[in-house]
Amino acid sequence: MHVRKVVIKLVFSCFFLLPQVASADSSTRVHAFTDRTEPFRFSELSFSSGYARGELKRDDDLEVIPFSVRVGFDISEFVGISGPGVLQFGIEPFVNTIIAPDDGVETGLNVGFRYITPLTDEISFYGEISSGPAYFSIDTVEQGDDGFNFMSQFGAGFQFELTHDLAFNAGYRFRHLSNAGFSDPNDGINTNAFITGISFSY
C-alpha cells in the first residue's frame, strides 16, 4: 500500500514538474505530436494492446489482453502550458479480453489526461491518468458477480517517432477495478499492464 502511494505521488509530480522543465528550453525542433496551433484541438489517434496480470484471492491470476482506441485533444494552450510539451485530454474506449481465470471481457470508456514532452528529436516521454465506467464479465471473490465497475489507471511510457505523423508507443499502466462502493463485495482488483501501440498525429 505504501509503495502504491509513493508511485501515485511520483506520477502526479510528473504532471506538475514536466511542464516547467520542458519550458526551460524550447529550442528543440517541432514535433508533430507536441506542436500546437489552437487552444483545444484534436491532435492524436492511438491504437493499443498488450498484456495485463493481477492476483485474485481464490482463483488463478487474472490475465487480460487489452485493446483500446484513444482520441487525444491538445489542451495545453487552454490551460496555459507553454514550452515543447503537450497536455492532452483523452477519451479511450476499450474492449479487453479476459483469458484467465475464465474467459470473459472488460469493456468501457476511460477519460483522463496525458502529458507528453520531447526527450530527443525522435523520443518523447509521457505520463497519464484516467478513469471511467467498465463492465467486468466474470465472477470473482473480490467483486462478486459480473457487472458494473470503474476502471482507474495511471502509467508512463515512451513515444518513438517513426515518421512526422506516426509514432510507436510503449509503456506501463497500473489498473484498479472497483465498483466505488455501490455494491458488496468491493475489495478491488489491481493489475499491472504493459502496453504497446501506434499513434497518428493530426
Segments of the chain scoring below 70 in pLDDT: 1-37
pLDDT by residue (tens digit) across 137-155?
999 999 999 999 999 999 9
Q: How large is the C-alpha radius of gyration of the chain?
A: 18
Buried b (16+ CB within 10 A) or exposed e, 138-175: bebebbeeeeebbbbbbbbbebebeeeeebebebebbb
Give pLDDT, residue 32. 61
Give pLDDT, residue 24. 42
Q: What torsion do the CA atoms of 156, 157, 159, 160 make, to the nearest 10 degrees?
A: 170
Which CATH number does the domain 2-201 belong to among 3.30.300.30, 2.60.120.1270, 2.40.160.20, 1.10.287.1080? 2.40.160.20
Check residue 144 and report its DSSP letter: B
Give pLDDT, residue 82. 87
Check residue 103 and report its DSSP letter: -
Report the DSSP pairing between strands 189-201 and 166-178: antiparallel
Give pLDDT, residue 27. 42
Q: Tell me the whole-structure pTM to 2 decimals.
A: 0.80
